[in-house]
Structure 1
Amino acid sequence: MSLSIDITALPDGHLHFTPSPLAELSAMLHVLGEPGHHPGLHGWVASTAASIAPELSERLSEADFLWRSSRADFLVPGLPGATLADELDAVDRIDDELYVRAAVMMSCGTSRLSHRRDSPLADPVAQERARELALARGPRQADFTDRLFADPPAVRALVRRMLEDCGEAFFTQAWQRVLPDLAADARHKADLLARHGAEEALAAVSPSVALEERADGRRRIVVDKLQDNATRAAAGGVTFIPTAFGYPHLLVVHAAGWRPVVQYPIPEGGLPEPVSLAVMQQRLEALAHPVRLRLARTMARGPHTTGELAAAWHLSAPEVSRHLAVLRRAGLLTTRRRGRYMLYQLDLTSSARLGSDLLEAVLR
């Protein structure tokens, strides 16, 4: 499964790397709303949540569906500004139709209205459907949707004021701390793009992002995600926004009417490279076979030759070799030679990370 961005007619220079205050604020709000996704930030979550005034905390709770499971597209700017105020001004210039559609997608569930083209403001049928979906998700979403349809400017003003209050409460201090690292990462990616081209720059963004170049000349950015979707980059290009609060997520804005944006976590020391969902599936399927699971348990205790494994489990050597090949392709074995024999052992590091790798892959 993947999400692709067609960049066939786009010069490499139209891939832009830059930090965004609003995107980083929305990443922080997601961390506060879903701390279980970000165990490495529990200390920040605890201290920040304790510092937020109860009144602001209540307002954030009422609107957290805008950034909790995913994020409203207007919270991840395609053209980042220098300050949070600049980016909020740009959001104010978005027409009501586009803003309301993005907000309603969050209150109704991102997957259930994504295919609809009816205007949520002008079409009564689309409004009623949106209300039904919002009510099914909870009273807060239903109330927000009703108020948004009744008076879009008032709701937009409330959301902006809430984000501005977050700036004063906790964002400004955190932003000043992380901005140097974000800016340095963006400069590094831009330098890779200029010197070595899009393929190397995209590979540096994440192992889950790749450039696909077809024989017919078509080019597209392919992102490992839990949905199959496609979009096309317009003349303006594609924006890549580094974040210090995003790991393990790889957020992509791809809805019609919005410039494609990829928000990616900057590298952190000590964290392993992310594993793709395809690799995770391969590893789980490799271990799901009862014979391979027995062999894995044996090799977890120490290195074994093919003959030793065959004797231990009353299997033929060719049969053991076939199972070992599956485990090796899945990256679950290490090997070393002893004379004319090859010794196989379970890779305890990759095996120990199966649970966390799976969680990160599905959260990506």
Structure 2
Amino acid sequence: MSVIIDIAGLPAESIVFQTSPLAELNVALHALSEPGHHPGLRGWVTATSTALPRDLADRLREADFLWRNTFSDLFIPFAGVRGGDGRAGATLAEELDLLDRLDDEQFVSAALEFAFLASYNKGGPSPLDDADARARALELAAARGPQQWQFAGRLLTDPASVRAWVRRLAEDCEEAFFADVWQRVHGTLSADVRHKAELLRRKGLGEALTAVSPALVLEDGGRRIRVDKLAYCRATAVDPAVGAGLTFVPSHFSWPHLMVLGRPGWRPVVHYPLGSPELPAPTSVDVLQLRLEALAHPVRMQLCRSTARAPHTTGELANILSLSAPEVSRHLAVLKQAGLITTRRRGRYVLYQLDVTVVARLSSDFLEGVLR
């Protein structure tokens, strides 16, 4: 499974790297509501949550489905403004002005994204006009609690008041904590934007994508970008209805999340975490699946146990497990193909040993894979 971004015919000047304060506010709010996703931010989350005014904290809980379960596209409004230039605002106020330019159908559909994830990249009827879509949105909002249900109801009956409410919420967040956050991280994000733009200009899109994340690959002779994620979505960066463009936005807060906006009628956006030098490169989803499947067999689990303690030959393992040597060889081949077993030769014998470093990282690989 992957996210595909079609870029065939996209002019080079339409691929841009930019900072976005509103997008960064989105992931900061997500970190506050889901600190378990961001263990490196626990200190900041604790300090910020403790200092939040009570009224603001209550309002954040009321609308937290905009950033807790999904990353609402409302926080990247520059991608959806019709007739716009596809550029992010330099300040939070400028991006909130772009948010005001979305029409009610765009605003409501993006806000209720959690209710239509299965059809996210296909589009569908608006909950403002379609009774079934409206009922589904309210039902799923109710499952998240009475506050979310009431918020979704207001959104469907009076979008204008909720639009004003959301803008005020963002402005109050800026006053309470985000202005200080943005001042602290903006320099680093801007430096990354300049670096990636220069890399794009000098060495091309392939090199720039590799620098963004190992999960991004240029394919089909440069006609499309594949993003390694546990999801399927297909977006186009050359939709004439909205205008050609592809934007990359760095984030201080988003690791391990790598988000791709692929909503029909919006320009695609890749919102990527800035890499941390102490973190190893993420494992691809395909490799992760291969390793988990390799371990999903009792014989291979026993082989891992034996080879974790010391290297063994096929014959030794067959004797330990009371199996035939050919059967052990077949299971070892599966583990080796998955990269879980290393081999070394001792005379005419081959010794097999579990790669404990790879196995130790499986839990974090799994977590990164499902959160990416």
Residues 127-276 of structure 1: pairs in structure 2 closer than 5 A: 127-213=134-220, 219-234=223-238, 235-276=243-284
- Unaligned 5+ segments in structure 2 are 80-86
My pick for the range that moved more, 239-248 or 128-137, is 128-137
Question: What TM-score, normalized to structure 2?
Answer: 0.90
Question: What secondary structure is seen at the aligned counterpart in 2 of 1:326?
Answer: helix
Aligned residue type for 1:75: F
Q: Does the 8 Å CA contact 1:12/1:197 hold for their aligned counterparts?
A: no
CA-CA distance at 1:295 after TM superposition: 1.3
CA-CA distance at 1:90 after TM superposition: 0.9
List per-residue Cα deviations over 1:9-41 (Å, max 9, x = no partner): 213442222221111110000000111111121
Q: Report the equivalent of 2:357.
A: 349
C-alpha separation in 2, matches of 1:27 and 1:240:
15
Q: Does the 8 Å CA contact 1:307/1:317 hold for their aligned counterparts?
A: yes
Question: What secondary structure is seen at the aligned counterpart in 2 of 1:110?
Answer: helix
Question: What TM-score, normalized to structure 1?
Answer: 0.91
C-alpha separation in 2, matches of 1:241 and 1:128:
34
List per-residue Cα deviations over 1:225-281 (Å, max 9, x = no partner): 232221211243211111111111111111112111111111113212212222121
Residue 363 (structure 1) aligned with residue 367 (structure 2): no
Which residue of the other structure, out of 122, 127, 149, is the alignment partner of 1:120? Answer: 127
- Unaligned 5+ segments in structure 1 are none
Q: Report the equivalent of 2:84.
A: none
Question: What secondary structure is seen at the aligned counterpart in 1 of 2:118?
Answer: coil
Q: Does the 8 Å CA contact 2:121/2:262 hold for their aligned counterparts?
A: no
Question: What secondary structure is seen at the aligned counterpart in 2 of 1:345?
Answer: strand
Which residue of the other structure, out of 115, 118, 137, is the alignment partner of 1:111? Answer: 118
C-alpha separation in 2, matches of 1:305 and 1:200:
43
Residue identity over aligned pairs, in percent, reads: 57
Which residue of the other structure, out of 79, 89, 97, is the alignment partner of 2:97? Answer: 89
Which residue of the other structure, out of 305, 312, 326, is the alignment partner of 1:304? Answer: 312
Q: Does the 8 Å CA contact 2:123/2:264 hold for their aligned counterparts?
A: no
My pick for the range that moved more, 146-155 or 250-259, is 146-155
Aligned residue type for 2:266: W
RMSD: 2.1
Question: What secondary structure is seen at the aligned counterpart in 2 of 1:70?
Answer: coil
> Compared with structure 1, are the counterparts of its residues 153 and 213 closer, same or farther at alpha carbon in structure 2 (3 Å cutoff)?
same
Question: What secondary structure is seen at the aligned counterpart in 2 of 1:245?
Answer: coil
C-alpha separation in 1, matches of 2:30 and 2:306:
42
Residues 68-79 of structure 1: pairs in structure 2 closer than 5 A: 68-76=68-76, 77-78=78-79, 79=87
> Compared with structure 1, are the counterparts of its residues 112 and 130 closer, same or farther at alpha carbon in structure 2 (3 Å cutoff)?
farther
Aligned residue pair count:
360
CA-CA distance at 1:121 after TM superposition: 2.6
> Compared with structure 1, are the counterparts of its residues 329 and 13 closer, same or farther at alpha carbon in structure 2 (3 Å cutoff)?
farther
Question: What secondary structure is seen at the aligned counterpart in 1 of 2:149?
Answer: helix
C-alpha separation in 2, matches of 1:113 and 1:229:
8
